Structure 1
Amino acid sequence: MNRVLSVFGMCALLVATAALAQDKATPLAKSPSATARVAAHAGDSNTAALEDAAAPASTSAAKLPVRRVVLYKNGVGYFEHLGRVRGNGSLSIDFNSGQLNDVLKSLTVLDLGGGRITGVDYNSEEPLARRLGGLRLPLGEQTTLVQFLGALRGARLEVRTGSGTITGRLLSVEHKTRATKDGQVIQYDEISLVSDAGEVRSAELGPATSVRIVERDLNAEVGRYMGLVASTRLQDVRRMTISTSGAGDRQIYVSYISEVPLWKTTYRVVLPSKAAAKPLLQGWAIVDNTVGEDWNGVELSLVAGAPQSFIQQLSQPYYGRRPVVPLPESVQLTPQTHSATLIPGHGKLSGKVTDSSGAAVSGATVRAYDENNNVVATASTDEEGQYSFQSLSAGNYRVEVEQTGFKKYVADNISISGGEESKHEAELAMGASSQSTEISAEAVMALPAAPMTKSKRGASGGIMGGLLSDARSDMMPVNAATIASARAAEQAAAQARELGDLFEYKLKQPVTIRKNQSALVPILQSEIGAEKVSLWNEGSGTPRPLRALWITNSSGLTLDGGSFSVLEDETFSGEGLLDAIKPGEKRLLSYAADLGVRIEGRSENQSQPVTRVQITHGVLIQHSELREKKIYTVRNEDTTARTVVIEHPRRTDYKLAPGLEPAETVAGFYRYRLVVEPKKTAELAVEEVRQLDTRYALTNLTDDQISFFLQQKTINPEVEQALRRIVAQKNVIAGIDAEIRARDAETQRIFADQQRLRENMKALKGTAEEKALLLRYTRQLDEQESRLEALRQEHTALEQKKLQAQAELNKMIEQLSVDSAL
């Protein structure tokens, strides 16, 4: 019972306090009547009064609705708000905590009616305990009535009970007990005040007791406390209030960027059942609204690009942080994406020109025109009426044939694929050359129609379906043609355009996406060119190739990266991933395993002997080749033909041998096309050449090396004679060096002997025998000095001779230039 009384007492106190806090701007004379009015109805309106007191000041501001949203692929969105304000009004926008930093970094606010923006404020992100610490009231988030009144100790209060009114300063709030007549113990709270006259008076806090704070400043502080406590109900909401100053009704424009989830792209490639039809590409965008408010009737644009953007914690204190280095992750990604074309391959076009009787027409002029109406190749037919064009880039061409006495022959839409030879026969009709016969050649679609079965799954992985029916008996069967017609009639809900380096899909109609909801929006509907192939790379580690579509983006739009699904005969055939594809770009998209084809590769290496010898600037260079042949064996066990695309590694130190050209060249690979008939085996041989060069300095060659070269047939007689002359001159210089060394050795011996004689002469005394020996040593020294003089002259002459021989050798080496094929 006492607990209930305490709760009611607390409610009555908070009601009175909140009312005074709201009316703090009203004149003092009106406060008692306002307080009395609220307190009198405390038992009926506690909840409403509490919420009024807790509401932040910004609730009086009108909401500023979002009108335009642009989503980018780097995880940010651009938002525009447009609303109206009157006079010195204010507007508010709700964000979540994750948006605030981006908003502070990019916010733009304009008053379009000539007014002025006086300020932008938002609620703090500091913890509630820290914000409460800034108040003069020592209160926490969870506060009881006794704790609340205890925080007001010393404040001037007015306590009203059923027996009267007590006014004074709060002394204490005590928890007491008393016994009833029947012996029960009742617990209650008692409040004690000290009056201005010094009298201490007490009253029991019960349901009929109300407490009013008389001090205006303390009332305002209690109002702030209640607002902070109420804000915990919306902990993740950051309400930004824009204050304005002006006259009349005006428009306010606000823009900013904010972190948003990446919009995702997903495609459906619908393969036709008719060979003449083109595949249909459908694109969808998945959009998530995770910001703080609903998008009601917004203009939505999706941009396939990633402007530079970053996160900066402007709303929080900044501290220096060390970088975080994540642990490495090992993830095997499936499915795969495939490289775009770097160098397109070249195809061939050949055929025969005949007259109406089938006889060959020789000397006819055949011209090939590209899609821009430029002549790219010209040829004349031979005696058998044959013509041939080499190295045509992949694409569609127009062929014209002219010959005197015949009408001009014109054939359009002749498709050339890289790495393949196409055939086109021309039949000339009799008539004037000013007349023409026009033929429209059908574009080759490498998408053969599969036989219609009801439950058989082919090697391509697609289930061939006949009629699609609902399980309910009251639904009529729907055939595949009806579904295909309905799909073709669909229209994309977005308009596409280039934005510099970016690409935008702008939705045609306003979009409504509620907060924390997502939407799937169609953005693309277009026919595309596609060829069904089997793609194999030896690095995959499996003999089974991947089923793939070699598409040409003929939609005229940039296809953003994302996932795609393949539907064939209204049945799921596989799915995969694609990178961004520009208009006109060609790309391989793999989506399933091809269980009907096996591929193996083997290598054959062959070292070629020296094929060429060069001598230049004193260096002998022997050129040889290392030829490596890679043979790919393809077995097709399926009942339909397969076009196999093999990715052969592209190595920097190897070049392709003349002959077979790749269909296209991508980063790290050559792509070759091979058609394999049903139940047949075919081979593709790719030969590469690596140039090997061996260098020898002519000054280091010896007769033995020259003999070895001759034995190995790595030099010819012409080169041998030139090398022999150089070696002979080297031998002359070597002989001179030997003579110089001999003179130097003799000089050193004489020096040593002279030293010995001088030492002996120092030891001799003045006897007759010693005098005779001294004379002998003197004559010997004199003879040695004469010999030393002769040796010096010979050494000088030999050095001069060596210099002349070396100069002659250098001249021989410099003038020797040989480039000889063996």
Structure 2
Amino acid sequence: MALPVRKCVLFRHGIGYFEREEEIEGDQNLVLSFKEDVMNDVLKSLTTYDDGQGYVSGISYEGIGEKKPNILINLDSSKSMSQLMAETQGAKVSITYGGEAYKGIILGIEAKKKTNDEKQNQVIETEIVSILTEENQVRSFDLMEVEDVEFLDEEIKRDLQHLLDVLISSKKKSVKNVTVFCKGKKKRNFRATYIIPLPVWKTSYRVMLGAKEPILQGWAIVDNTTEEDWKNIKLELVSGLPVSFIHDLYSPRFQVRPKIEVQDEAAFAPPVLEQSIERLQSFGESLEMEMAFDDMGGDLLSLQANGPPPMMAMSMMAPKMPSMMGRGMHRNAKPTMVSKEKKMEAFTQSVQPDVQTRKSEAVDLCHYSISVPVSVKRDQSALVPIYQGNFGGEQVCVYNESVRAKNPMSTILFKNTTGLILEGGPITMYEKGEYIGEGMLDTIQPNDEKLISYAVELGCIVSSNNGVESQSIHQSVVNNGILSTQKFYYYWRKYEINNKSTKKLDFILEHPFTYQTQLFNTMDPYEKTDSYYRFRFPVPPKQKIVFVVVERKQISDTFYLDNLNERQIVNWHSQKLIDQKTKEILQELAIKFQIRQNLSSQISITKSELNEHFQNQRRITQNMKSLRDSSDQRKLRDRYVQELTTSEDEIETLRAKIKEHEKNLRVLQTQLTKELNAIRYETFLNVPKAVLPQSQIKIRAEKLNQKLTHFHEKVDEALPSGFDEDYIRIGIEHSSELRTIHDKRETDEECIVRSNFPIPDSVKIYYFEMTVEDPGTSEAIGIGAVPDDHNLKGMPGWENSIGYHGDDGNLFFCDGKGQEFGPTYSKNDTVGFGLDRNTKNAFFTHNGKLIKIVPDNKFSLFSKTLYPAIGLHSKNAKISVNFGTIPFLYKLESKY
């Protein structure tokens, strides 16, 4: 009996899950056929479910190799009847001949020639079978005229049936049968499940544009490579990647055993050792328990007098027996059956048969359940619809110079609003019923977006050129005996986009980036990929626009101050890298550097003199060895001794001199190191800005609070949105959005931190606020504004600027003289600065209340380009600013 396929689940990693189900009654042998190359997967996954009171007594399958029946009968397809009679010689049969049945034993078969009754001159060959009847008579029959042959031996019948089964099965190449032996009495549902390798199911899509919302149509392609047709089966397609592998369970395994050679020795009777009484008793108790298992094991537990000692027998059997004996099973015992509902509870908890798609709770899998039964013939394929409906999509143009240098690509911004995981595959695009191109969709999760290009936009032409500009040194820092300078290099690329078409283009520009540079004076990218910035902006029809991407890299140069000369110091001072005070300190140090150099030179010269003395002594010593004991040579020896004595005195003097110079050098070097490390200086230089090409696309910074947009709705320039990172001193930490700063410098020098953009000239009323999160040690904090050419030293209000200070509540306006103005402010206080160009006044607020209005002074500060600024002169001070990204504490809209 065969089990029909009821359900197939195809996975994206090349596995198919099958369910076969049928109603059975009584004992049944269910045969499943598989290709030989899938048997490993079948053996590891085949699972059976009996829905009634039946059970599976066993499962058998054909092994590896050709199918050869283990019986003596052999049939030749050309002479099957005569060969069968010859192969079954001696078998009991019943032969029907001339309407009568004759029972007997087959004696044999022979060929005879006879004359054709119809044609007397024609001789034909016939085969005669002879039997020994029950009456001991020999009867012969012409096989051509025998009507029926029945074998009376049941074993012969089974062998013959087995032979025929094997022969028909062997006609199918590499097909193996798996037989499930089911035991039971009542009618019941029986189900078997397994997995086998199958081709990966594929997806393709169609997109229809032109309607209010684009329409997506998805199709799956499934291939039936099994040995049978799929008729009205339930089909599911699963996206995801479960773990799967091949493990060889089908091939027989043999364990290599050691070979023990026969030793030619005299026979020796082994001694029988006595067993302890306690062990014999414990073994006897175990033996009584094991005897209950004797029906299953036959004579496994029988003991012989000359067998191994009882404990040895126990040790040999223990690994196999306890698990069976503990359940009290015997040969005729039936295993306890668990209901199908309980067995499948884990599998069916997330199953929702009434819905088309679902998510697996155990793993990240998405199921496409095809609600209509599917039929696919073997070795054929089918297209199955998996989705039809609207989705979120926008038509855009994407330009990437490395893809196509002259034209952008017509692209759809695909937003997966289907709620499904869409597997990757080709997309065919249609617009108002006409074919417009093709694209490729990568696997996309729900609510994700993908850009899918499908055609070249020939109506738009793009050209580009690039360049590099450098800027003079803008920052100089002296610290720990090192002078560091910072300068910028600007890398720009200008894109000229010419839209010759009659439609407005939603343009996305992909510009490559590197991690060594940062965008400068360029609009924020729409998004960022692993390799590209994506800028998005409209291009009107029949117009040409210019878009410039500028990237900036900061280059650092380092100079060690440990070996300066006067020329270098003067040069740095002329470049304003150091101030007059630092210059004078370095000039004093340069004199000491010269002294150090002189000491080092004297040590070298003295050591050279000392070396000359050593060489002269070696020469004299060698000469003295060659002198003889004559009067002349004795005089010469005395002379040499005198020279050596004098040289030794000079050597001692030189050694003392070197020791003194080295001591002085160490003292001087220690003093120089201390003085060098004590120098602290930092400055920002007002240098000409690099001349860069400009975009026609206006840069818009972050919008202020919506309540304030009526002040700036006509502004095309950037508004302040954070601190300028380039002008934050070393040791001052800042947040990622550059709206919070924390002064952790070792020194407590005054400094100013300004905004990244100035207050636009077109903005007539401007305002920002500062909140003190920590006033620091001295609470010397200030708020105000500074002009573009300010050196950012001191505090707001000291030099050509305006500022309101928190430690004393004074107002400073372009000089260092403070005047009483408002309350002091400290932790958790919020103060603000505003500029009213209509009246040429400034104003300050404290915790949401206006303090005073400040009219412009004789320097006409308020008519200049101003930057919002914060002043710091308090260790550990922490300040956060609000440039309008959240509502202000001061109700500005009620005043203007």
TM-score range, shorter chain: 0.5 to 0.7
Instruction: Give 1:307's aligned residue.
Output: 242
- Where relative contact order (Cα < 8 A, 6+ residues apart) is larger, the structure is 1
Given that 2:578 and 2:681 are in contact with CA atoms closer than 8 Å, whether structure 1 keeps it comes out as no
Q: CA deviation at 1:647?
A: 1.0
Corresponding residue to 1:515 among 362, 374, 377: 377
Name the structure 2 match of 1:260: 198
Find out whether 1:113 has 2:52 as its counterpart: yes
Structure-to-structure mapping, 1:299-378, within 5 angstroms: 299-316=234-251
Instruction: Give the secondary structure class of the aligned counterpart of 1:789.
Output: helix
Change (3 A) 1:185 1:811: farther
1:94–1:293 CA contact under 8 A, matched in 2: no
In structure 2, the partner of 1:495 is 356
Q: Secondary structure at the match of 1:659?
A: coil
C-alpha separation in 2, matches of 1:763 and 1:519: 113
Offset from partner CA, 1:758-804 (integer Å, 9 cap, x none): 44545555665555544444333322222222222212212211221
Amino acid at match of 1:207: M
Q: Which amino acid aligns with 1:564?
A: I
SS of the residue 1:746 aligns to:
helix
Aligned equivalents of 2:634, 2:488: Cα separation in 1: 83
2:16 counterpart residue number: 77
Superposed, 1:584-733 pairs within 5 Å as: 584-699=447-562, 728-733=591-596
- The aligned runs of 1:4-403 (5 Å cut-off) are 61=1, 63-97=2-36, 99-124=38-63, 126-127=64-65, 130-132=66-68, 135=70, 137=72, 148=83, 152=87, 188=125, 207-208=144-145, 221-235=159-173, 238-273=176-211, 277-316=212-251
SS of residue in 1 equivalent to 2:144: coil
Shift of residue 570, structure 1, vs aligned partner: 2.7
Q: How far apart are 1:305 and its partner, in Å?
A: 1.8
Q: Is the 8 A contact 2:3 2:32 kept in 1?
A: yes
Distance 1:178 1:705 in 2: 134
Matched, 1:567 2:430: yes
The answer to whether structure 1 residue 784 and structure 2 residue 719 are counterparts is no
Residues 605 and 714 (structure 1), Cα distance of their counterparts in 2 relative to 1, 3 Å cut: farther
1: CA distance between counterparts of 2:444 and 2:511? 23
Alignment deviations for residues 798-820 of structure 1 (CA, whole Å, 9 cap, x no partner): 22112212222332343344443
Deviation at 1:539, TM superposition (A): 0.9
Cα gap change, 1:722 to 1:660, in 2 (>3 Å): farther
Superposed CA deviations along residues 185-208 of structure 1, whole A, max 9, x for unmatched, are: 968587899999xxxx99998624
CA shift in 2, pair 1:159/1:550, >3 Å: closer
Q: Which residue of 2 aligns with 1:466?
A: none
Q: Distance in 2 between matches of 1:820 and 1:140?
A: 107
Gaps of 5+ in 2: 255-353, 686-896
1:736 aligned counterpart, secondary structure: helix
Report how far residue 640 of structure 1 moved: 1.7
Summarize the Cα distance change of 1:771–1:292 in structure 2 as closer, same or farther, 3 Å threshold. Answer: closer
The whole-number CA distance in structure 2 between the counterparts of 1:553 and 1:166 is 81
**TM score, norm. by length of structure 1:** 0.60
Cα distance in 1 for residues equivalent to 2:590 and 2:18 = 85
Q: Identify the residue that residue 616 of structure 2 maps to in structure 1.
A: 753
Cα distance 1:707–1:119, how it changes in 2: closer, same or farther (>3 A)?
farther
Report deviation, 1:685.
0.8
Give per-residue Cα distances to partners, 1:29-51, cap 9 Å, x unaligned: xxxxxxxxxxxxxxxxxxxxxxx
Contact 1:188 / 1:204 at 8 angstroms: preserved in 2? no
Residue 656 of structure 1, CA deviation: 1.0
Cα deviation, residue 548, structure 1: 1.4
Q: Which residue of 2 aligns with 1:541?
A: 404
Alpha-carbon distance change, 302 to 508 in structure 1, aligned in 2, over 3 angstroms: closer
Deviations 1:309-328 (A, max 9, x none): 23345435699xxxxxxxxx
**Residues 723, 227 of structure 1: alpha-carbon distance in 2 compared, 3 angstrom cutoff:** farther
Q: Cα offset for 1:740? A: 1.8
Distance (whole Å) between structure 2 residues aligned to residue 622 and residue 139 of structure 1: 100
Provide Cα deviations, 1:475-499, integer angstroms capped at 9, x if missing partner: xxxxxxxxxxxxxxxxxx9633333
Would you say 1:794 and 2:657 are equivalent positions? yes
Number of aligned residue pairs: 576
- 3-state SS of the aligned residue for 1:258? strand
- C-alpha distance in 1 between matches for 2:582 and 2:110: 120
CA contact (8 A) 1:96 1:237 kept: yes
The offset of 1:644, in angstroms, is: 1.6
For the residues of structure 1 that align with 2:7 and 2:372, how far apart are their CA atoms?
Answer: 9
Aligned residue number for residue 17 of structure 1? none
Inter-partner Cα distance in structure 2 for 1:160 and 1:627: 108
Q: Is the 8 A contact 1:535 1:644 kept in 2?
A: yes
Match of 1:555, SS state, is coil
CA contact (8 A) 1:155 1:215 kept: no
Check 1:656–1:139 CA distance in 2 against 1; reply closer, same or farther (3 A cut).
farther
Name which of 565, 568, 576 aligns with 2:439.
Answer: 576
What amino acid is aligned across from residue 794 of structure 1 in structure 2?
A: K
The CA deviation at 1:111 is 2.4
Change (3 A) 1:789 1:764: same
> Matched residue of 1:262: which SS?
coil
* Alpha-carbon distance in 2 for matches of 1:785, 1:204: 144
Q: Alpha carbons of 1:123 and 1:184: their partners in 2 closer, same or farther (altered >3 Å)?
A: farther
For 1:680 and 1:520, locate their aligned partners in 2 and report how far apart those are by CA, in whole Å. Answer: 46
Deviation readout 1:534-576 (Å, 9 max, x if unpaired):
1111111341221112233333443333333333223222232
Please show how residues 414-493 of structure 1 align to structure 2 within 5 Å.
Answer: none
Deviations, residues 499-538 of structure 1 (Å, cap 9, x unaligned): 3553534547341324335554443344333322111111
Cα distance in 2 for residues equivalent to 1:79 and 1:701? 85
Contact in 2 for aligned 1:599/1:633 (Cα 8 Å): yes
Which residue in 2 is equivalent to 1:504? Answer: 366
- Residues 297 and 757 of structure 1, relative CA distance in 2, 3 Å threshold: closer
SS in structure 2 at match of 1:131 = coil
Three-state SS of the structure 2 residue aligned to 1:741 is helix
**Conserved 8 A contact 2:46-2:193:** yes
Alignment check: 8 A CA contact 2:129 2:142 kept: no
Report the CA distance between 1:219 and its aligned residue.
6.3
Mapped partners of 1:559, 1:192: distance in 2: 72
Counterpart-to-counterpart distance in 1, 2:62 and 2:414: 53
Deviates more, 1:241-250 or 1:589-598: 241-250
> Which AA in structure 2 matches 1:305?
G
2:192 is aligned with what amino acid? V
Q: Structure 1 residues 821 and 204 mapped into 2: Cα distance closer, same or farther (>3 Å)?
A: farther
In the superposition, relative to structure 1, how do residues 165 and 560 fare at CA in structure 2: closer, same or farther (>3 Å)?
Answer: closer
1:700 to 1:634, Cα distance in 2 relative to 1, 3 A: same
CA distance in 1, matches of 2:481, 2:141: 119
